[in-house]
A and B are shown apart, each in its own frame.
Chain A
Amino acid sequence: MDIECSRLLPSVCAVLVDPKQFVADDTCLEKLLDWFKTVTEAESSLLVLQENPCLTELLFHVVKLQDVNSNILSFTLRLAGIFAAHENSFQYLQQGEVLLSLFSEAGPLSRPAWEDPSVRSGWIQGVGSMVQHERAVQFLCDCGAIDVIFSLQGDPSLFVASTASQLLVHILGFTMHSRRAVPLTTQDCDWPVCARMIVGHIEESLRSGTVPQITQALNVLTTLFGRCHESWTEVLWMRMNPFVGSLLEKEPLLAAHSLVDLFLSMARPQTLRTKAFNILLQPLACVLQAASQPTGSPGLLDESLNDSVITDILLSSKSSCAGLLCQTLAHLEELQPMSHLLIDWPHVPLLSAVMTILRFCSGLATPASSVGDRLCGILIGCFRVQRSALDFLGTLSQGPSPSELIRGVVEILLVYLKSPDSSPTVLKKAFQATLKWLLSLSKTSTSSDLCPQTQHFLRDLFPILQKRLCSPCWEVRDSALEFLTQLTKHWGGRAGFRQALLSSEVPELAEDLLRDPESYVRASAVTAMGQLSSRGLCSNPIGTGSKNDEKKSLFLELLEILSTDSEGFPRRAVIQVFTEWLREGHTDVSKDKEQFVTKVLQVVSCDLDWEVRVQGLELALVFLVQTLGQHETECPYAVEMSSVTQSTQLTESLQMLCHMKLFDFIFSALCDCDRPVARKSCDILLYLKAKLAHHGSLQGSGEACTESLGTQNTAWLETTLRKWKARDQGQPSEVADRGDCQEPDDVLEVLRSVDLEGLRGTLAKSSDHIEKSPQSLLQDMLATVGILEENEADCY
């Protein structure tokens, strides 16, 4: 703990123990605890207590206050727990009977303050922190705290009750772990006292016949078996087995959900897993059976389905049917990546089942039974099931599927993409599933181009995509554009795709969406057009020049968005596209890179969105690397240029960069109030500095050398930039028009003078690191004492 904090701490403690004082911000106490946790982990907690006696006094006095604020009491309990987690501090606090006064029956438990859930929460968290050594466990057993934890399991506050259950698991685990060397039997006498108490309580609860108590006990066991796989848990299970078994025999079944959870957490053997998986398959098997024609496709389960319970749930109401199917599909979706672990992952029947569900939902199915009829009536138009089924259908693209079924998948996907009844969320899922299937189809294709089946699919798909790009719903237009971007990214080079795309109106429609009223759509259109252009699939060339073409070039169109769009998303998308074009050497950009970069940076430098400016700097960096990097070659057999030639070329490059006003932008970004911009600029300048130092260009002469190396800050730079600006304004007009407000020497002077390394260190810190420091926190707590309460409640 630093000296300044140590100096402030007594005053803060005095505020906390004074019931008349008021800590204005409810986060202060939480942050104070965070700090104490860090301090006690970093240095001796005992030393902290000894050097700051105000802390022990605080712990001692708060509990004795009659009119104590519940938040302060809660804080004190948690603070005591943090210190008591360390054995020597625990002993220190025990000697002063501080812990007894806080955590025993004599403490807050018997006071009206206990009614406040925050106090109970503080108590249980304090105890939770403390249980890091055996002395603490012993203390809790001796002072009756374990019984309190038992009672808190049924606390009206979810937070307290849940923490109590977790804590019992933690204590039991801790106690047993520390005794793992001793062989264990189911006999009570073999178990440590504390574990005996907890296990006894669990047994008693399971026997109680009351649902809340049984549920609490089962929850503890579920958490325990889920977390801990040590050998003693098997002995514990042997003890619990009869109690749990007797619960299963009761009619009606009590706490059924908790019992299910317990068995799931115990489900380690393969046989149990298989059984559980079969249960999961039942609803889908029921759907398949309901839909199957007399000739029928193979079912999911070998034995004929006769679980009337599942059927009853499916048919009882729309919500129970949707609920069961959605849960089943979601679980199966989670299991699919692990399908290799399951011996009999029935990929094909699952695919059939999910397609059947989708057919039921869209009214396409022709059910063969009365159950099917009713299912169809229930599921038709059910968006919730449609979403889950499409998600699962997409996941099933990762598996070997017979071509007949693939045809079916394609058909059903097209139905959903085409249907006017599909909601935007369903359409999005349909697009995602389609993309997954298309990509999986291309993987199976052996030739370099798309297989005929995929090409056929694409021919059907593009008219639908056209329609969706014209949807009145912005969410649909956006999903369609995202789909187009992804498809182009993966297949832009494949002839089949290019042919299908260019024979449709999709590129023109995507271009129209650059002027969409919704900014998200404009941004997606920008990305899509950028991708199409990169792949040469754009109808008009990007042409960086401002020709008097009848149709504005894509570059100018995007540049206009960058300079005039009132929303940040499209502007950000444009600058990302430009950077990508430059990076990948887009043909049209490569024709005149300088002009391209100059025009873009001119616009970006005025942007109010710092993310646009950061991306602009990225573009500048790409250009710098491309420009300065061309003087080097990594080829060991290349003829090395003389250092003079290299230096000349570098100076020429710098001259060119100055003419482009690239450094204007970078230097001004270094002084930017938005930290990420300044940091990016700093990184670029450090790259440049390293580059120039390599060529010895930084060994300046004359006036520049009189400056001490790298000691100036951004304030100096701002002044210098203003000075240069004034100088350039004084130049004859033809020189000023040339735009070379800086010379390479100026750039070198900045690189030599500004402490870029130091600046990078400062910029790497959070912009509010001072305000977030412990010292600042303590100062704030002292300063806010007595502030009007009015401020506190006024959140917005």
Chain B
Amino acid sequence: MPEIKVTPLGAGQDVGRSCILVSIAGKNVMLDCGMHMGYNDDRRFPDFSYITQNGRLTDFLDCVIISHFHLDHCGALPYFSEMVGYDGPIYMTHPTKAICPILLEDYRKITVDKKGETNFFTSQMIKDCMKKVVAVHLHQTVQVDDELEIKAYYAGHVLGAAMFQIKVGSESAVYTGDYNMTPDRHLGAAWIDKCRPNLLITESTYATTIRDSKRCRERDFLKKVHETVERGGKVLIPVFALGRAQELCILLETFWERMNLKAPIYFSTGLTEKANHYYKLFITWTNQKIRKTFVQRNMFEFKHIKAFDRAFADNPGPMVVFATPGMLHAGQSLQIFRKWAGNEKNMVIMPGYCVQGTVGHKILSGQRKLEMEGRQILEVKMQVEYMSFSAHADAKGIMQLVRQAEPDNVLLVHGEAKKMEFLKQKIEQEFHVNCYMPANGETVTLLTHPNIPVGISLGLLKREMALGTVPGGAGGQELGCLNGGEGKHGFWWVRVSSFSPHRPPSRCQEAQADARHADHEGQCEWPLSWPGPLAGWQGTRGASGVGWGAPPGHLGRGWARPWEAPPSPDSSSPPPRISGWCPQSRPSRSWAWRSTSSASPAACTSTTRARSRRRSCACTAT
């Protein structure tokens, strides 16, 4: 019986150290390879011995996919590839490949700086690991081998973040990584087409939260910074090298410009140039506003933000400093904090979570007397603020994505058990699909019912149906589909006791559909320079050569659906559908649920029951 197996080694009912093993039609894929920043020993990495007991890693795993550059998703990668011994392919998007080594280097340096931490990768290992990475474009179908293919979708969250569809034959799973369904200052919203995977593995950080508008948090942040600077205080914002720091820089830069403020803003590690470089390079991954204004002004070329020099910390008067590392556990941010902590006019804003064992964690938990070197006590009089700028989908966003992708099953990762439980029920109620939330080390096995395309002439089909020899033909319960080449073949589907054959879209209809897409180009917010296989597709689109279309041979594979264009990263909802497109020529919603193989009673899990419930809904719709 075909099945999909999922075993989280990390991110199963917890946040941090994402690492999920998926076995789909005999292919083994590792989704993310993250580290836990709260540990200083081997526990920071996922326990890979559960893979190595199945033989050599490279033989067991067909590929590793990294969703984005955050360390809880990629931090263990050099360890895995250069120290544990994985030597196979690694996939990630182009921006992730470019930025990942910077974050890894940054963390390696902090770790080395802190000393006493062993079994950590070196700079050379990071480079060797990155050389094994195959970078992918959005919406590009990448053939890992003859059977396994993957495809990336825009996930928002951070620059280059992607959701990945993994497909073997007719079985597929989608892994979201971290994603954000609402656009922010520099990135667009996540989007995926109606790919109807057998399984959607989604993050659930904010499984029970409906988050306030990010604008409110931004306003709050600016108000606090402004007030502190106005009263002559200094603001310290500890950040990690790249990511959230750039978002906050844009915020302050715009605000400073608008308010004509003069207090200096500094960035401590020369990362402004670096960020500038990467955001320029991957401008197509940012939101529409940034792209549109890029020609006149690059949002990442900051007028007000200057490089920091250590001596500036002692300068009198107000200032704002972005300093690394983000948890106040070493280096410059900690040094500045020590200098400024004693003055109640100053403020430290922590824009992210801090693990135990860091000064950041201490001050966030309200501790105001900190022990320093030589039993000295540092009294923290400065104001301490925590402002989450993390860009995860909230409960509404997660539901929206499930609705968008229409999976057969959902599996929750990257969240807390209690919150997951709530969301699980919600998903099961609303979508009538099974929802799973395995703990780390637990395996979820899903039986799948892959479609088996069968070629049959329409005449024969009709005759057989009339005789009642075709499954479902004479009141059978099973639904099915037939698909063949050339015009004489047809689709068929059965609902309880009736069936209707449908002609597949003819070449002529396809051409008409293409023309309609072209008509709508002006309405679709489709970036001209969208990263992806667009250039390769343009050849099929006629003279205009602009906009989106289907690559040759993609129609009818249920994989890249040309009528569902990838959206602009700005839109929080899918792009407008083309009305007037012949509904019969498009596989109906029930297409993906139908199976020519019947499950044995023992194999009929609640998934099958849930599917049956949905079938009737879908059939009514069609």
Query: Does B193 sit at the interface, judged by CB under 8 A?
Result: no
Contact with B along A763-796 (1 / 0, CB 8 A): 0111111111000110110011001001111111
- Which among B285-293, B353-361, B519-527 touches the partner chain? B353-361
Which residue of A has the minimal Cβ distance to B21?
A158
Which residue of A has the minimal Cβ distance to B388?
A794
Q: In the complex the two chains form, what is the Cα distance from A526 to B344 in whole Å? A: 48
A27 and B38 contact, CB distance less than 8 A = yes
Q: Is the interface of A mostly helix, strand, loop or mixed?
A: helix
B367 and A796 contact, CB distance less than 8 A = no
Choose among A428, A608, A611, A762 the residue with the greatest number of B CB atoms under 10 Å from its CB.
A608
Q: In the complex the two chains form, what is the Cα distance from A118 to B417 in whole Å? A: 12
* A contact residues, range: 35 or more
Q: In the complex the two chains form, what is the Cα distance from A780 to B360 in whole Å? A: 11
Residues of B within 8 A of A387 (CB): 87
Contact with A along B140-178 (1 / 0, CB 8 A): 000001110000000000100000000000000000001
Q: In the complex the two chains form, what is the Cα distance from A317 to B25 in whole Å? A: 15
Asked whether A25 and B361 contact (CB < 8 A) given A766-B116, A767-B114, the answer is yes
Query: Does A326 sit at the interface, judged by CB under 8 A?
Result: yes
Query: Does B574 sit at the interface, judged by CB under 8 A?
Result: no
| B442 nearest CB across to chain A (Å) | 5
A783 and B113 contact, CB distance less than 8 A = no
A673 and B131 contact, CB distance less than 8 A = no
Query: Does A749 sit at the interface, judged by CB under 8 A?
Result: no
Contact with A along B376-394 (1 / 0, CB 8 A): 0000000000101010000
B115 and A27 contact, CB distance less than 8 A = no
Q: In the complex the two chains form, what is the Cα distance from A787 to B353 in whole Å? A: 13
Q: Which residues in window 152-191 of A have CB below 8 A to B?
A: 156-160, 162
Which residue of B has the minimal Cβ distance to A567?
B274
A159 and B132 contact, CB distance less than 8 A = no
A796 and B113 contact, CB distance less than 8 A = no
Residues of B within 8 A of A768 (CB): 114, 329-330, 357-359
Which residue of A has the minimal Cβ distance to B206?
A793
B59 and A327 contact, CB distance less than 8 A = yes
Q: In the complex the two chains form, what is the Cα distance from A790 to B389 in whole Å? A: 12
Query: Does A319 sit at the interface, judged by CB under 8 A?
Result: yes
Query: Does B47 sit at the interface, judged by CB under 8 A?
Result: yes
Query: Does A63 sit at the interface, judged by CB under 8 A?
Result: no
Of the residues B36, B127, B206, contact of A27 by C-beta under 8 Å: B36
Q: Which residues in window 123-167 of A have CB below 8 A to B?
A: 156-160, 162
| A482 nearest CB across to chain B (Å) | 9
Which residue of A has the minimal Cβ distance to B419?
A793
Query: Does A568 sit at the interface, judged by CB under 8 A?
Result: yes
Q: In the complex the two chains form, what is the Cα distance from A708 to B358 in whole Å? A: 36
Asked whether A117 and B441 contact (CB < 8 A) given A162-B50, A479-B131, A796-B390, the answer is yes
| B296 nearest CB across to chain A (Å) | 24
Residues of A within 8 A of B206 (CB): 793
B356 and A28 contact, CB distance less than 8 A = yes
Which residue of B has the minimal Cβ distance to A672?
B310
B131 and A478 contact, CB distance less than 8 A = yes
A673 and B371 contact, CB distance less than 8 A = no
Asked whether A796 and B178 contact (CB < 8 A) given A158-B441, A428-B131, A770-B371, the answer is yes
Of the residues B330, B367, B372, contact of A779 by C-beta under 8 Å: B367
Which residue of A has the minimal Cβ distance to B367?
A783
Residues of A within 8 A of B372 (CB): 770
| B530 nearest CB across to chain A (Å) | 22
Q: Which residues in window 89-103 of B have CB below 8 A to A?
A: 89, 101
Query: Does B70 sit at the interface, judged by CB under 8 A?
Result: yes
Q: In the complex the two chains form, what is the Cα distance from A2 to B74 in whole Å? A: 39
B441 and A792 contact, CB distance less than 8 A = no
Residues of A within 8 A of B618 (CB): none
Q: Is the interface of B mostly helix, strand, loop or mixed?
A: loop
Asked whether A158 and B365 contact (CB < 8 A) given A673-B310, A767-B329, A796-B243, the answer is no
| A762 nearest CB across to chain B (Å) | 6
Query: Does A303 sit at the interface, judged by CB under 8 A?
Result: no
Of the residues B49, B58, B277, B365, contact of A326 by C-beta under 8 Å: B58
Q: In the complex the two chains form, what is the Cα distance from A520 to B123 in whole Å? A: 10
A673 and B334 contact, CB distance less than 8 A = yes
Query: Does B88 sit at the interface, judged by CB under 8 A?
Result: yes
A674 and B359 contact, CB distance less than 8 A = no
Contact with A along B169-191 (1 / 0, CB 8 A): 00000000010000000000000
Which residue of A has the minimal Cβ distance to B362?
A780
Which residue of A has the minimal Cβ distance to B274?
A566
Q: In the complex the two chains form, what is the Cα distance from A26 to B357 in whole Å? A: 12
Of the residues A157, A425, A478, contact of B132 by C-beta under 8 Å: A425
Q: In the complex the two chains form, what is the Cα distance from A117 to B444 in whole Å? A: 14
Query: Does B253 sit at the interface, judged by CB under 8 A?
Result: no
Which residue of A has the minimal Cβ distance to B243?
A796
Q: Which residues in window 74-126 of B have CB below 8 A to A?
A: 87-89, 101, 105, 109, 112-117, 123
Contact with B along A287-328 (1 / 0, CB 8 A): 000000000000000000000000000000111001100110
Q: Which residues in window 490-510 of A have CB below 8 A to B?
A: none
Residues of A within 8 A of B131 (CB): 424-425, 428, 475, 478-479
Chain A-chain B contacts (Cβ-Cβ < 8 Å), number: 203
Asked whether A157 and B329 contact (CB < 8 A) given A770-B371, A783-B365, the answer is no
Query: Does A675 sit at the interface, judged by CB under 8 A?
Result: yes
Q: In the complex the two chains form, what is the Cα distance from A768 to B117 in whole Å? A: 11
B56 and A160 contact, CB distance less than 8 A = no
Query: Does B331 sit at the interface, judged by CB under 8 A?
Result: yes
Q: In the complex the two chains form, what is the Cα distance from A162 to B147 in whole Å? A: 31
Query: Does A515 sit at the interface, judged by CB under 8 A?
Result: no
Query: Does B465 sit at the interface, judged by CB under 8 A?
Result: no
B109 and A610 contact, CB distance less than 8 A = yes
Q: Which residues in window 659-707 of A have CB below 8 A to B?
A: 673-676
Of the residues A317, A611, A795, contact of B109 by C-beta under 8 Å: A611
A319 and B147 contact, CB distance less than 8 A = yes
Contact with B along A23-45 (1 / 0, CB 8 A): 01111101100000000000000
B205 and A791 contact, CB distance less than 8 A = no
Query: Does B366 sit at the interface, judged by CB under 8 A?
Result: yes
Of the residues A318, A330, A424, contact of B145 by C-beta under 8 Å: A318
Q: In the complex the two chains form, what is the Cα distance from A738 to B316 in whole Å? A: 31
Residues of B within 8 A of A792 (CB): 15, 353, 416
B40 and A772 contact, CB distance less than 8 A = yes
Which residue of A has the minimal Cβ distance to B47?
A159
Which residue of A has the minimal Cβ distance to B26?
A319
A318 and B146 contact, CB distance less than 8 A = yes
Which residue of A has the minimal Cβ distance to B110?
A767
Choose among A24, A158, A330, A572 the residue with the greatest number of B CB atoms under 10 Å from its CB.
A158
Residues of B within 8 A of A24 (CB): 365
Q: In the complex the two chains form, what is the Cα distance from A762 to B130 in whole Å? A: 36
Asked whether A795 and B15 contact (CB < 8 A) given A158-B50, A673-B334, A772-B357, the answer is yes
Query: Does B569 sit at the interface, judged by CB under 8 A?
Result: no
Asked whether A793 and B416 contact (CB < 8 A) given A424-B131, A762-B373, A777-B357, the answer is yes
Asked whether A676 and B112 contact (CB < 8 A) given A780-B362, A795-B353, the answer is yes
| A456 nearest CB across to chain B (Å) | 30
Query: Does A623 sit at the interface, judged by CB under 8 A?
Result: no
* B interface residues (Cβ-Cβ under 8 A, vs A): 7, 14-16, 36, 38-40, 43, 47, 49-50, 53, 55-56, 58-59, 70, 72, 87-89, 101, 105, 109, 112-117, 123, 127, 130-132, 145-147, 158, 178, 205-206, 209, 243-244, 268-270, 273-274, 277, 307, 310, 329-332, 334-335, 352-353, 355-359, 361-362, 364-367, 371-374, 386, 388, 390, 415-416, 419, 439-443
The 7 closest A-B pairs by CB, nearest first: A159-B441, A673-B335, A27-B38, A783-B365, A25-B356, A158-B441, A157-B441
- Given A162-B49, A674-B332, 11 more A-B residue pairs with CB atoms under 8 Å apart are A25-B355, A27-B357, A317-B146, A330-B58, A610-B109, A610-B331, A673-B310, A675-B330, A793-B206, A796-B72, A796-B243
* 15 A-B pairs (CB sep. < 8 Å): A27-B39, A157-B440, A157-B441, A323-B59, A424-B131, A608-B270, A673-B310, A674-B113, A674-B331, A675-B115, A762-B374, A780-B367, A783-B362, A796-B244, A796-B390
